[in-house]
Amino acid sequence: MALTPEQILSAHKANIDTIFGLTTKAFEGVEKLIELNVNASRAALTEAAAHSQALAAAKDVQDLVNLQTAFFQPLAEKAAAYNRHIFNIASSTSTELQKALEDKAGQYQQSFNGLIEATAKNAPAGSETAVAMMKSAVSAANNAFESVQKAVKQASDMAEANIKAVTTATTAAPKGKA
């Protein structure tokens, strides 16, 4: 079974569309990170300016201590929220990319399996053993690929659960001490 120039061109176009689609998703994630960083920087600058003005207006040492305590106390919670936003952006971008890649891998797998079936149908007489071995190898490769996908998904889910647990513990710690 030979591929026609139209089939090759169509496959090439589909691959280019996939690459640009994945690149667009990756850039969307980068844009979200940049927006988060700009907003966080702006907020930190505004808070630092307001804190500096409050420090300048302090009347005694006790006012200074109270201002410093009030300024630094919520920092752990703000850092945890910032890290949570970064994780959410990275996680959603990764999920979108992973889904697109899985879809494309599924399409390739179906095309390859179709090619194997077509080759098997057109195989010369007496090559049944070779065809059976080829089908068995393809089936084993497909099973291995699915196992790897499941392992990656489990590892990703475990990492997400761990990050959420750490974020929750970090956010709860300052509140428990106050």
Residues 19, 21, 23, 29: what is their CA dihedral angle, to the nearest 10 degrees?
-150
Question: If pLDDT is split at 50, 70 and 90, which confidence band does 171 have?
Answer: low
pLDDT confidence of residue 132 = 82
Buried b (16+ CB within 10 A) or exposed e, 95-129: ebeeeeeeebeeeeeeeeeeebeeeeeeeeeeeee
Considering the domain boundaries, does residue 92 fall inside one?
Answer: yes
pLDDT in tens, 50-97: 999 999 998 999 999 999 999 888 888 898 889 889 988 988 898 888
pLDDT greater than 70 at residue 176:
no
pLDDT more than 90, % of the chain: 25
pLDDT confidence of residue 45 = 95
User: How much is the average pLDDT of 118-142?
Assistant: 80
Considering the domain boundaries, does residue 135 fall inside one?
Answer: yes
Considering the domain boundaries, does residue 2 fall inside one?
Answer: no
pLDDT confidence of residue 89 = 92
pLDDT confidence of residue 170 = 64
Q: How many separate domains does the chain show?
A: 1
Question: Sign of torsion, CA 126 132 135 140?
Answer: negative
Mean pLDDT, rounded, of the chain? 83
Considering the domain boundaries, does residue 38 fall inside one?
Answer: yes
User: How much is the average pLDDT of 171-175?
Assistant: 57
pLDDT in tens, 147-169: 887 887 788 778 777 777 776 77
Query: Where in the sequence is the domain holding 66, given as residue range(s)?
Result: 10-177
CA 125/CA 58 separation, integer angstroms: 96
Considering the domain boundaries, does residue 5 fall inside one?
Answer: no
Considering the domain boundaries, does residue 4 fall inside one?
Answer: no
Considering the domain boundaries, does residue 108 fall inside one?
Answer: yes
Instruction: Return the number of other C-beta atoms located less than 10 Å from residue 157's C-beta.
Output: 10
